[in-house]
Amino acid sequence: MQKPSNPQGTRDFGPDIMQKRDFILGIIKNIFIKYGFEPLETPALEKLSMLTGKYGDEGDKLLYKIRSNREITHEVDDDKAQVIRENFPNQWIPGVSKLGLRYDLTVPFARYVVQHRNEITFPFRRYQIQPVWRADRPQKGRFREFTQCDADCIGSNSLIHEADLVQIYNEVFIQLGLPNAILKINHRKFLEAMVDELKLDFPVTKFTSTLDKLDKIGKDGVIQELLNLGVTQEMCNQLFQMITNTTITHDSLDQLSTAFNNNVLALTAIDDLRSILQYTEAIQFVIKIELDLSLARGLDYYTGCIFEAMIPNSGIGSVSGGGRYDNLTGIFGLNDVSGVGISFGVDRIFEILESQKLWPITHSSNPSILFCHFDKDTQIYAVKVANQFREKGFRVLVYPDQKKINKQFDFANAKRFKYAIIVGKEEMETNMLSIKNLMTGKQEKRSIEESLIFFDREKI
């Protein structure tokens, strides 16, 4: 008999983990809804033709491809099939795979928008929380099956969307108990302005992939790489006068205009940031929001604002990223539809809350009250009382088996019930309940009505 196990890079989420994950996902989902995002779910199975070529060569390699037995027989010539059968008895005959597993939520969203463009009222705000799959080498914190949590606004150029997303970041991190989060913002046009001002003669992406390493290799490392690319020391000095980490205020944006010599690309970026400032001027932000001119995050994708959120001293890079893209649906033939979106890394947020022990005490959705009993009569009576509790919305359980009362308490403690209600012959005859607080060990008698009021007050 083989030992049961789940595949490498995948996880079972038992009750404790589920409750913690629901805590995170519930917060994010409710804030998305509050800001007018509507739910969408797309299938895990996508046509492989919709997925390939969308994530680069490396991405194509990481796509999980699927074949059902049914499909294979259609695709292979009989004579070729014969060659295979001889060489690989009892194995599949190769064919072109037609299906793959969802690799992210962005490409399926783009497919959905183009496919249903005549039914959708634009601008369209959707959120989507679903697992994705990548045939990656599993390692700590990197899984083959993990959940993405996306919100996108599509079909509008307004900066109000960026402003709302910034507010969402603020609310999400406050509610998660991570008010020290930092939201880094950049704008593609700043990066283009640097290339423009420095008159670099290589592509923006080559420049930004170097700049993106600033966190890892430091200023000197970046300068060395730029020198190797033929940038002069003077240009590097000029560059690092532009690259500032600063809070975003009208004053700091004025200074940036000067630092960029009023470069027209930089001014576009500054205009956009000013709009976000205007839309959010009444908000007292709790999280730290800073402009980080070295932030790039896969630049070929983003065309406007770029976002990245991180938790300081967590040992984990970013927990969310996003930005504006002006041609997401172009891959499916619908051009000039601008969008902006963000994605939260649920697993990373989980990791931080877990390692910093930041879970709220109230996250449990375990049943709170266990009814204990002594024989079938008292058990049947306990079921009746339990149903009165359920009618009031309490989550209760009657211990199912006929076992000694101590076994029942052991079960209650192992499952972290808060109270045990003990029903014996005496309780049945007097319409009373013996209520034991499992944390303090204190036990007291109350009538059924009093008990219901008591537990209601205790907010069980």
Residues 363-392 close enough to bind its own copies by CB under 8 A: 365-367, 376, 379-380, 383-384, 387, 390
Residues 6+ apart with CB under 8 A from 441: none
Tokens of 3: 């030992």
Figure out which of the listed residues 52, 54, 55, 97 binds its own copies, where binding follows CB under 8 A. 97
Residue 165: CA atoms inside 13 Å, Cβ hemisphere, count? 32
- C-beta of 372: minimal distance to its own copies in Å? 13
CA geometry: angle 220, 223, 228, nearest 5 deg: 130
Pairing of strands 288-292, 245-247: antiparallel
Q: Please state the closest distance from residue 28 (CB atom) to its own copies, in A.
A: 15
Q: Which of 58, 78, 401, 429 binds its own copies (CB under 8 A)?
A: 401
Contact 381, 371 (CB under 8 A): no
Q: Please identify, using beta-carbon distances, which residue of 173 and 190 lies nearer to its own copies.
A: 173
Identified binder of its own copies from the candidate list 111, 297, 324, 436, rule CB under 8 A: 111
Give residues 206-245 in contact with its own copies (rule: CB under 8 A).
none
Q: Which is nearer to its own copies, 206 or 390 (CB)?
A: 390
Report the site for its own copies in 144-183 (rule: CB under 8 A): 144-145, 153, 156-158, 160-161, 163, 167
- Answer yes or no whether residue 449 interacts with its own copies by CB under 8 A: no
Which CB sits closer to its own copies, 31 or 319? 31
Sole window of 82-90, 215-223, 313-321, 343-351 interacting with its own copies (rule: CB under 8 A): 82-90
Residues 14-73 that bind its own copies (CB under 8 A): 14-15, 18-19, 22, 33-36, 38-47, 49-50, 61-71
229: Cβ–Cβ under 8 A, 6 or more apart, which residues? 202, 206, 210
278 binds its own copies (CB under 8 A): yes
Among 54, 55, 59, 94, binds its own copies (CB under 8 A): 94
- Tally of residues, the chain: 460
Q: How far is CA 412 from CA 124, 365, 398, 419, 441, in A?
A: 48, 15, 11, 8, 12
How far is C-alpha 366 from the chain's CA centre? 24
Residues 270/262, Cβ–Cβ less than 8 Å: no
Closer to its own copies by Cβ: residue 91 or 440: 91
| 265 token code pair | 């690309």
Q: Is 427 within 8 Å of 371 (Cβ atoms)?
A: no
| SS3 per-residue string spanning 297-350 | CCCCCCCCEEEEEECCCCCCCEEEEEEEECCHHHHHCCCCCCEEEEEEEHHHHH
CB nearer to its own copies: pick between 380 and 439: 380
DSSP string of 224-236, one letter each residue:
HHHHHTT--HHHH
Q: Is residue 119 at the binding interface for its own copies, with CB under 8 A as the rule? A: yes
Q: Which is nearer to its own copies, 113 or 293 (CB)?
A: 113
The distance of closest approach from Cβ of residue 27 to its own copies in the complex, given in angstroms and rounded to an integer, is 14
Q: Is 118 in the site for its own copies (CB under 8 A)?
A: no
Tell me the window of 110-118, 175-183, 190-198, 253-261 that interacts with its own copies (CB under 8 A).
110-118
Distance CA 448, CA 301 (A): 63
CB closer to its own copies, 191 vs 276: 276
Q: Is 400 a binder of its own copies (CB under 8 A)?
A: yes
Interface of this chain with its own copies, residues 309 to 328, rule: CB under 8 A: none
Residues 339-368 that bind its own copies (CB under 8 A): 365-367
Binding residues for its own copies, rule CB under 8 A, total 114
Between 45 and 439, CB nearer to its own copies: 45
User: Quick one: 252 or 388, whose CB is closer to its own copies?
Assistant: 388
Work out which of 52, 55, 59, 135 binds its own copies, going by CB under 8 A.
135
**Are 376 and 390 within 8 A, CB to CB?**
no
What is d(CA 110, CA 107) in angstroms, rounded to the nearest whole number?
5
Q: Are 228 and 216 in contact (CB under 8 A)?
A: no
Of all helices (H) and strands (E), which one includes residue 182? strand 182-187
